[in-house]
Structure 1
Amino acid sequence: MSDGTYRTLTGPSRYELDPVKASRFVATLDHVTTEDEALAVVAACEAEWPDASHHCWAYKLAGGRTRSSDAGEPGGSAGRPILARIEGKQLADAVVVVSRWFGGTKLGVGGLIRAYGACAGKALDAADVRVVPRTRALRVEHGYEDTAAVQTVLAAAGLTPLDADYGATVRLTLAAPEATADALAQRLVDATAGRAVVEAAEPGAEK
């Protein structure tokens, strides 16, 4: 979306497609924010259903990163159709795993594309979606004498640090709304008379 927000899943859900030539297809969806979280959903499906023939999947993160897997199905017959449905719904921070139990009749590449795409698409149609602001990861470093001033600025912005390290100085990691991140950084600098250092975190932390 172009207004500083994006669409994502509210949480986990599951959908089972009507059997296709006796093959069973079940989609598992979830909201994720990192590749590790997405792969954990895949691993959970593999552990729950070790008897499934394939666990094909795709995800898209808010930073734009995508990845998909055919998990042993013919190339391009599963992961890409799943990813196409995620992108078609304009979703991000979302993973879809479609588990298949082979029913004894080969579907062919075209049949697999249709089946995996249909299962993912119908699962996403039924899923709850929410709109959230895009965020920018910031690192804030300040002295202990400025703790109260920094906390006042963060409280006014409704932000809680994602991580805090207390060493010689205080180092915080924040996820600030993209639309207000620059203004927030300036307020932190102003509130500490220029002593606070505010920098962008690594690109992978952005939403």
Structure 2
Amino acid sequence: MYTLTAEVSFEETIKKSLFICHAASVETVEQAMNFFQQHNQADATHNCWAFKLKDNYRFNDDGEPGGTAGRPILQAIEGQDLVNVAVLVIRYFGGIKLGTGGLVRAYGGCAAKCLQLAEKNKIIPMTKVICSAEFSEMAMLKSRLMQPGVALLTEDFNDHGVTWTLSIPDTELSTLEQLYINLTRGKGSWSV
């Protein structure tokens, strides 16, 4: 999965209709709706949009025939394996009707071209883990657990040692958990 690193725009004219596309990275439904509101053109014929979050998606045809605008925009997002992305396609009608197939191609194609221009970041699923170590094991454990991609979020010292909160890539989670169990001889606490 990928997301956008910065906002991107694209425009093209199809049979005298001007299509303007804006896309950006968003984290919540509220951010997506704010993005659409900020870029909405009141004088445009249609302001069609779609967004996809990790666990939610929505689209709107804004008066175009059902399924001819919002869904193709969403399919353009999904086709490029993107999440946490909002895409708005604005249409200024040029006097020539495109038909349902033409609308699907125009909205989906404009969104896809815009997203192709965007710089993207790969999303690495992470899991937060809380684990502890005694003072005598602390240096050795820390050096072994802090592999590329692992982030130390907190380090809290107590009378017996330290408690760490780590952010670990999901692909490394079981390997590091087994390493932790082996190094602490099963005495340490590891909770996801």
Letter in 2 for 1:98: L
1:154 deviates by 3.4
Question: CA 1:13–1:47 in 2, change beyond 3 Å: closer, same or farther?
Answer: closer
Give the % identical residues.
Answer: 23
Residue aligned with 1:93, SS: coil
Residue aligned with 2:146, SS: helix
Contact 1:98/1:116 (<8 A) preserved: no
For residue 177 of structure 2, the aligned residue among 180, 185, 189 is: 185
1:3 match: none
1:183 deviates by 0.6
2:21 match: 27
Listed as ranges, the matches of 1:1-207 within 5 Å are: 6=1, 8-9=2-3, 11-20=5-14, 23-31=17-25, 34=27, 36=28, 39-49=30-40, 51=42, 53-59=46-52, 61=54, 65=55, 67-70=57-60, 72-73=62-63, 74-89=65-80, 91-103=81-93, 105=95, 107-129=98-120, 132=122, 134-142=124-132, 145=135, 148=139, 150-161=141-152, 163-164=153-154, 170=163, 172-178=165-171, 180-194=172-186, 195-199=188-192
How far apart in 2 are the matches of 1:158 and 1:56? 34
Contact 1:142/1:197 (<8 A) preserved: yes
Gaps of 5+ in 1: 1-5, 200-207
Which of structures 1 and 2 has the bigger CA Rg? 2
How far apart in 1 are the matches of 2:102 and 2:92? 13
Residue aligned with 1:156, SS: coil
Residue aligned with 2:12, SS: strand
Letter in 2 for 1:197: W
Residue aligned with 1:19, SS: strand
With normalisation by structure 1, the TM-score equals 0.66
Please list the CA deviations of residues 19-68 of structure 1 after superposition, one character each: whole Å capped at 9, or x if unmatched: 34554322233455x4x1x652442242244535424013254xxx4523
Count, aligned residues:
183
Gaps of 5+ in 2: none
With normalisation by structure 2, the TM-score equals 0.70
